[in-house]
């Protein structure tokens, strides 16, 4: 009777799982339709590499949880594949040679089951004994682990009983199961008793599998599907590029104040999150005790999505204690959390399935700025300065080229026939400290014989900070003015000092008709050194540690060129901080935070200085004016000016180049 019911129950459980997935998909459909899915081949490769191949889960800094997950994955996928293969072999008239291969199924099942058992033990130990701060245990976690363990142990018992009863030829291909069969044999049970226990264990195993299948779509195990789907749907464009608002003339609202205003892919993010906490462990806002955890933001949004779903799809009331629907901004996500983000993208970089919070943060910022005019008070002056003088400092635009008036630098208005347009940015033009970096860069370009020019007073703020703070309208105004100038001069190639300018000109200006070849000064300088156009002198032995800019590193994968420059300077000994390269700790100035006061928690720039000082360097080097300013302020605040200097790589290099 059970053999007849089992296939039927299996189909019912699959139907329950599919219904659960369908019901969940209705929640995603609450969001706006997003971009069409393209590049199918690349997406399939991405799933193979990152979902099946664990490309991001197996992280050098996450060996324990990465190995644990891989063992569990093997213990899930191999039995599934081998069971399907066994069914194929038994149901088709296959050649004897192919049938003979099926004996290897026993070995693969045995090994995969043992690996899954080890993975489960590691999971229990990590979650309930080691208990890292980033993990928050819920009943669902225990149920999932206990359920998998029960299926695994009963499955081993079934196989062990079969060996004890039948003594099949393949038993030697299953050493773990053979050991279980030997142990069963020590009880000296009769064949009929063994057969009865075998049948009971088999039925229990089948029931557990059926219940497990039913449970998948209603538990954290749904991530098996949603994480894979999220990897398939991930953004293949420039990392961190912000969505353009194209309907300023017709839209009634801007940004996101209600969950339904996110797009469907952003809502899938919420169900793809497994609460692993890697984002939280690398978020500078969280680590500096700000009211922001990327993990918590995603989970809070997920809870709000479920509440919205019950209210809108299932007609169930969702109310706060004070009555009414909880507001997305304020009730669900605190405003302080929205403004704490530095847009460093460490959450995205560390997430195994490509979830990020900044895309959601910037949409909520847009609503606060464009619809409510609600933002940190100090930002008001920055916006006004950008509007009136096209720079955050508010210095007269007519003074933009004064930093180079004694250097003999050509303006494009005087001679547009140049190989490269040098873009010093607002920091290089107006900030006294960063003017020195721009001057050093000009001297290096001249020594290398590069034919370059600048826009001078025709250059405007790239608008990056305005956009990341949420003022898309101001950003568009600044971009349109710059694109018109650049296109008038038919500029093809731009070199920037500031990574914020670099990323914006390279990856976001194309949204507004500005497509250019943009390189960062470290890329150009590294190339000039390799070409022999910059000859270096020997110098004193100094210890240098390099701070990776988020915009150069995680946004644009520029890690090696700055290090190549530093190690090419005679006498420089480069030492790496613990948080370096793609795990680099933000300086605290990104996401518009450069222009905001840091009222809550610890100061991020001072934390980064402490990390650098663990190496006792002579110089903290960077390649970003924001980082240079933030780190130098941190050094001064901590009274370390006599112990360490902060320099841009261009300054270090210029001092070492032969005249």
Q: What digits encode the pLDDT tens for the residues 404-455?
A: 999 999 999 999 999 999 999 999 999 999 999 999 999 999 999 999 999 9
- Full-model pTM: 0.92
Give the integer Cα–Cα distance in Å for 617 and 545. 6
Give the integer Cα–Cα distance in Å for 117 and 123. 10
Confidence of residue 86 (pLDDT cuts 50, 70, 90): low
Confidence of residue 463 (pLDDT cuts 50, 70, 90): very high
- Measure the CA angle with vertex 115, ends 110 and 121; round to 5°: 130
Whether 318 shows a pLDDT value over 50: the answer reads no
- Average pLDDT rounded to a whole number, residues 352-374: 96
- Coil, strand or helix at 519: strand
pLDDT tens for 218-264 read: 999 999 999 999 999 999 999 999 999 998 988 889 999 999 999 99
pLDDT tens for 111-128 read: 999 999 999 999 999 999
Give the integer Cα–Cα distance in Å for 181 and 32. 57
CB 474 within 8 A of CB 387: yes
What are the residues facing 329 on neighbouring strands?
333
CB 496 within 8 A of CB 506: no
Place of tokens 């219940």: 211
Contacts of 212 (CB under 8 A, 6+ apart): 147, 148, 151
Contacts of 50 (CB under 8 A, 6+ apart): 56, 231, 352, 353, 354
Q: For the chain, give every domain's residue range.
A: 2-232, 259-371, 387-529, 531-656
Instruction: Tell me 651's DSSP state.
Output: H
Whether 316 shows a pLDDT value over 50: the answer reads no
Helix locations, 314-419, DSSP H: 335-340, 346-350, 358-366, 377-389
- Give the phi and the psi of residue 212 in degrees, each rounded to 5: -65, -45
CB 497 within 8 A of CB 473: no
Instruction: Tell me the percentage of the chain whose pLDDT exceeds 90.
Output: 83
Whole-Å CA distances, 23 to 20, 221, 226, 310, 573: 5, 15, 13, 11, 58
CATH number of the domain at 387-529, please? 3.40.50
What is the reported pLDDT for 130? 93
- Coil, strand or helix at 421: strand
The H-or-E segment that residue 609 falls in is: helix 604-613
Contacts of 638 (CB under 8 A, 6+ apart): 606, 609, 610
DSSP-assigned states of every residue in 522-540 = HHHHHHHHHTTSS-B----
What is the reported pLDDT for 84? 67
CB 499 within 8 A of CB 405: no
- CA atoms within 13 Å, Cβ hemisphere of 383: 21
Whether 159 shows a pLDDT value over 50: the answer reads yes
Confidence of residue 321 (pLDDT cuts 50, 70, 90): very low
Which H, E and C letters describe 79-127, residue by residue? HHHHHHHHHHHHHCCCCHHHHHHCHHHHHHHHHHHHHHHHHHHHHHHHH
Whether 341 shows a pLDDT value over 60: the answer reads yes
Whether 93 shows a pLDDT value over 60: the answer reads no
What is the reported pLDDT for 281? 95
pLDDT tens for 625-650 read: 999 999 999 999 999 999 999 999 99
pLDDT tens for 591-626 read: 999 999 999 999 999 999 999 999 999 999 999 999
Place of tokens 């009963």: 154
Give the integer Cα–Cα distance in Å for 650 and 601. 33
Instruction: Tell me the percentage of the chain whose pLDDT exceeds 70.
Output: 95
pLDDT tens for 342-354 read: 999 999 999 999 9
CB 630 within 8 A of CB 417: no
Per the structure block, which two tokens stand in for 585?
């700790």
Per the structure block, which two tokens stand in for 610?
């402490």
- Coil, strand or helix at 647: strand
CB 286 within 8 A of CB 293: yes
- 531-656 folds as Rossmann fold (3.40.50)
Question: Between 86 and 292, where is the model more confident?
Answer: 292
Q: Which candidate, 206, 207, 256, 498, places its Cα nearest to that of 357?
A: 256
Rg (CA), the chain: 30
CB 160 within 8 A of CB 184: yes
Contacts of 129 (CB under 8 A, 6+ apart): none
Helix locations, 167-233, DSSP H: 175-185, 191-216, 223-232
Whether 83 shows a pLDDT value over 80: the answer reads no
- Coil, strand or helix at 600: coil
Whether 42 shows a pLDDT value over 70: the answer reads yes
What is the reported pLDDT for 88? 60
Which of 285-289, 317-321, 346-350 is predicted with the least confidence, judged by mean pLDDT? 317-321
What is the reported pLDDT for 319? 46
Confidence of residue 78 (pLDDT cuts 50, 70, 90): confident
Architecture of the domain delimited by 259-371: Orthogonal Bundle (1.10)
Confidence of residue 381 (pLDDT cuts 50, 70, 90): very high
Confidence of residue 322 (pLDDT cuts 50, 70, 90): very low
- The answer to whether the 2-232 and 387-529 domains have the same CATH topology is no
- Give the phi and the psi of residue 582 in degrees, each rounded to 5: -70, -10
Confidence of residue 107 (pLDDT cuts 50, 70, 90): confident
What is the reported pLDDT for 5? 83
Q: What is the mean pLDDT of the chain?
A: 92
- Coil, strand or helix at 10: helix
Whole-Å CA distances, 610 to 542, 605, 617, 634: 19, 9, 11, 9
Architecture of the domain delimited by 2-232: Up-down Bundle (1.20)
Question: Between 349 and 105, where is the model more confident?
Answer: 349
């Amino acid at each position: 009777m059970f053999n007849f019911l089992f296939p039927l129950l299996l189909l019912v459980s699959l139907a329950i799982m599919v219904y659960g997935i369908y019901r969940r998909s209705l929640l995603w459909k609450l969001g706006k339709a997003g971009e069409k899915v393209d590049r199918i081949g690349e997406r399939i490769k991405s799933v193979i590499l990152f979902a099946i191949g664990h490309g991001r889960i197996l992280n050098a800094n996450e060996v324990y949880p990465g190995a644990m997950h891989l063992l569990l994955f093997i213990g899930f996928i191999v039995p599934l594949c081998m069971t399907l293969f066994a069914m194929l072999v038994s149901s088709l008239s296959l050649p004897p040679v192919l049938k003979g291969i099926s004996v290897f199924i026993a070995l693969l099942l045995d090994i995969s089951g043992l690996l899954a058992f080890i993975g489960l033990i590691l999971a229990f130990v990590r979650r309930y004994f080691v208990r890292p701060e980033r993990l928050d245990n819920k009943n669902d976690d225990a149920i999932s682990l206990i359920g998998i363990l029960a299926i695994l142990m009963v499955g081993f018992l079934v196989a062990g009983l079969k060996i004890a009863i039948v003594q099949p030829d393949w038993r030697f291909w299953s050493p773990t199961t053979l050991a279980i069969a030997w142990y069963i044999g020590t009880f000296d049970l009769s064949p009929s008793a063994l057969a009865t226990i075998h049948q009971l264990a088999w039925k229990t195993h089948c029931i557990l599998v059926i219940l497990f299948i039913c449970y998948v779509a209603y538990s954290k195990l749904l991530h098996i599907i949603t994480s894979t789907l999220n990897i398939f749907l991930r953004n293949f464009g420039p990392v961190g590029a912000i969505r353009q608002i194209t309907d300023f003339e017709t839209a009634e609202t801007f940004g996101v104040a209600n969950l339904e205003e996110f797009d469907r892919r952003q809502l899938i993010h919420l169900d793809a999150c497994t609460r692993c906490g890697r984002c939280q462990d690398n978020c500078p806002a969280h680590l500096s005790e700000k009211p922001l955890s990327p993990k918590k933001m995603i989970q809070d949004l997920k809870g709000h999505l479920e509440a919205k779903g019950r209210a809108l799809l299932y007609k169930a009331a969702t109310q706060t204690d004070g009555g009414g629907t909880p507001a997305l901004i304020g009730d669900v996500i605190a405003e302080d959390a929205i403004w704490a983000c530095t847009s460093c993208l460490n959450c995205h970089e560390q997430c195994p399935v490509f979830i990020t919070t900044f895309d959601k943060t910037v949409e909520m910022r847009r609503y606060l700025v464009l619809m409510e005019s609600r933002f940190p008070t100090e930002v008001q002056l920055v916006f006004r300065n950008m509007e009136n003088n096209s720079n955050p400092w508010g210095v007269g635009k007519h003074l933009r080229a004064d930093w180079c008036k004694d250097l003999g630098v050509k303006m494009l208005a005087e001679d547009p026939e140049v190989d490269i347009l040098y873009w010093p940015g607002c920091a290089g033009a107006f900030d006294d400290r960063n003017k020195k970096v721009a001057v050093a860069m000009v001297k290096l370009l001249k020594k290398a014989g590069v034919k370059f020019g600048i826009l001078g007073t025709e250059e405007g703020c790239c608008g990056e900070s305005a956009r990341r703070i949420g003022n898309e309208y101001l950003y568009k105004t600044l971009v349109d003015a710059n694109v018109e100038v650049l296109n008038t001069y038919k500029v093809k190639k731009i070199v920037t000092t500031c990574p914020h300018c670099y990323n914006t000109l390279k990856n976001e200006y194309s949204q507004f008709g500005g497509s250019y070849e943009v390189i960062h000064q470290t890329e150009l300088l590294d190339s000039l050194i390799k070409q022999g156009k910059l000859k270096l002198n020997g110098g004193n032995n100094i210890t240098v540690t390099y701070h990776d800019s988020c915009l150069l590193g995680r946004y644009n994968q520029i890690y090696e060129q700055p290090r190549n420059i530093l190690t090419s300077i005679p006498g420089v000994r480069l030492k790496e901080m613990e948080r370096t390269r793609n795990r680099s700790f933000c300086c605290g100035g990104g996401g518009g935070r450069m222009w905001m006061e840091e009222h809550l928690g610890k100061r991020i720039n001072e934390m980064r200085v402490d990390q650098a000082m663990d190496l006792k360097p002579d110089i903290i080097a960077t390649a970003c004016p924001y980082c240079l300013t933030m780190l130098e302020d941190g050094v001064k605040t901590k009274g370390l000016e006599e112990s360490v200097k902060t320099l841009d790589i261009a300054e270090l290099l210029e001092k070492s180049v032969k005249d």
